[in-house]
Amino acid sequence: MSSNFSRSNSYLKPIFLFISVLFVSGLYAQGQRNFHFEGPAILIHGGAGTIKREYLSEEKAAEYHEALNAVLTLGYDGLAKGSNGMDVVVACLTALENDPHFNAGKGAVFNDQGIVELDASVMNGKSLQAGAVAGLQHIKNPAQLARRVMDSTAHVLLMSDGAEEFAKTQKVEFVDNEYFLTPRRKEQYERWEANKKNGTVGVVVLDAEGNVYAGTSTGGMMGKKYGRVGDVPIIGAGTYADNEGAAVSCTGHGEYYIRNNVAFQINARMKWGGKLLDEAAYITIFDVLNAQEGNGGMIGISPDGSATWTFNSAGMYRGAKGVESHTGKLMSTTAIFEE
């Protein structure tokens, strides 16, 4: 009896060890899911925060899934056809900015003066070139202007009136600030003291040439101070891409992401600390940010096909699409609430 139990137990030990390794690696951690893709792939997010089931009806949740799936399809189809990764990032960010479900572009939140101010950034993991804009009030698609800053100036970040003066020399669309306002956001503004929200949209891709790219766009925090700039246009805080690390786009309480240089920190843990992407993300989000009560999450993908979404909040609008390495099958998934 004892001998049989010992033999059975010896068979179970490797299984227990395997499960333990998976848990430590974050595969089963709350707020983290890891992937490994073969070939081009895309991850997107639409903001993180107090996103709970009781706050969304089934119909509204279905709308978010549909919106996320539409962007995943747009991005992956472009990658599958061999499109440049930066072109895909900007196209997907533009689609998210045009969708009033999200806090970027149309449907963005108000500052404390009832005005919408928008930020965005993009980064190329191969060249480390980057472009960013902050405090925009009249540019329909900030991600497109961030791309122009990267491609057509010697700078990385342009802000406010200066950014919009530059925009006049570029083929980008101007709109009145009222364009961004929606009835839902007006209602939120009227009660923002009790309903402070964060929100950002982001895209990371691995293209057919094995390069990674990242981009992020946001309206910032509801009721933020006029002129406040969050993490999104700060390269290394909310956005970073490096072929020797990963492409990362963040969402959450931006001040914590700036103080901790979150997007770059994840890369640094990989590049110089020898961590895998999922490990670096887990440590940064669950250890570093949790210790400071910093709320939010990130998406990331590395040139070897490793990818993750990781968040410490109640939910994050998110999705991923690509061919899974272990099955060879095309996988597409979206999610909202904590898993």
Give the closest residue to 311 by CA, choosing from 295, 300, 332.
295
Q: What pLDDT, on a 0 to 100 scale, did the predictor assign at position 236?
A: 98
Q: Where in the chain is the domain with CATH 3.60.20.30?
A: 33-337
Q: What sign for the dihedral angle of Cα 141, 238, 259, 133?
A: negative
The one-letter code for the residue type at 221 is M
Pairing mode, if any, of strands 200-206 and 32-49?
Answer: antiparallel
In angstroms, the CA 323 to CA 302 distance is: 15
Are the CB atoms for 148 and 170 separated by under 8 Å? Answer: yes
Beta-carbon contacts of 100 under 8 Å, excluding residues fewer than 6 positions away, are 106, 107, 182, 184
Q: What pLDDT, on a 0 to 100 scale, did the predictor assign at position 192?
A: 53
- Alpha helices by DSSP H, the chain: 2-25, 58-80, 85-97, 142-152, 160-167, 183-190, 254-260, 262-271, 277-282, 290-291
pLDDT, averaged per 10 consecutive residues of the chain (339 residues), comes to: 42 41 43 97 92 87 96 98 97 97 92 94 98 98 98 98 97 94 73 55 97 97 93 98 98 96 98 98 96 94 98 95 97 91
Q: Which CATH architecture does the domain made up of 33-337 adopt?
A: 4-Layer Sandwich (3.60)
The secondary structure of 48-86 as a DSSP string is EES--GGGS-HHHHHHHHHHHHHHHHHHHHHHHTT--HH
Residues 302-339 as b or e (16 or more Cβ within 10 Å = b): bbebbbbbbbbbbbbbbbbbbbbeeeeeeeeebbbeee
Give the closest residue to 42 by CA, choosing from 80, 99, 16, 8.
80
Region of residue 296 (phi > 0: left; psi between -120 and 50: alpha; otherwise: beta): left
> Where do we find the tokens 């999450």?
297
Beta-carbon contacts of 219 under 8 Å, excluding residues fewer than 6 positions away, are 103, 104, 105, 107, 108, 109, 116, 117, 118, 180, 199
Provide the annotated active-site residues: 200
**Tokens linked to 264:** 């770059």
Q: What sign for the dihedral angle of Cα 169, 170, 176, 181?
A: negative
